[in-house]
Structure 1
Amino acid sequence: MQKRKIGNDFMGEIGLGCMGMTHAYGPSDENENLNVLAKALEIGCNFWDTADFYSAGKNEELLAKALKNNRKHVFLATKVGNVYDQVLSTDSSGQKRLDGSPEYIKNSIERSLKRLKTDYVDLYYLHRVDPLVPIEETIYAMAELVKEGKVRYLGLSEASAKTIKRANSIHPITALQSEYSIWYRELEKEIIPLCNELAITLVPFAPLGRGYLTGTIQQTNDLSAEDWRNNFPRFKEETLIKNRNIVDVITTIAKEHKCKPAVVALAWLLTKNKNLIPIPGTRHIDYLVENTSASKLRLSVTEMNKLSEIKVYGERFPSNMEQTIDK
Structure 2
Amino acid sequence: MAADLPSTMRASQWSSVSGGLEKNLKVNDQAPLPKKASSLPAEHTLVKVSYSTPNPIDFKVMETLPFLFSKPATPCLDYSGKVVSSTLPHLKPGEPVFGKTEPPAFGALSEYVVVGKQGCVPLPNDVEPKQAACVGVTGLTAYQCIVPFAKAGDKIFINGGSGGTGTFGIQIAKAIGCHVTTTCSGPNVDLCKSLGADQVIDYRSEDVVASLKRSGTQYDLVIDNVFATPDLYWNAHHYLKPSGRFITIAGTPSFQFLFSVLKVFAWPARLGGGQRKFQFVTLAANAEQYVHIAKWMQEGKVKAVIEQEFELEDAGKAFERLKTGRTRGKLVIKVAGE
Name the TM-score, length of structure 2 as normaliser. 0.30
Structure with higher helix content? 1
Q: Which has the larger radius of gyration?
A: 2
Structure with higher strand content? 2
Name the TM-score, length of structure 1 as normaliser. 0.30
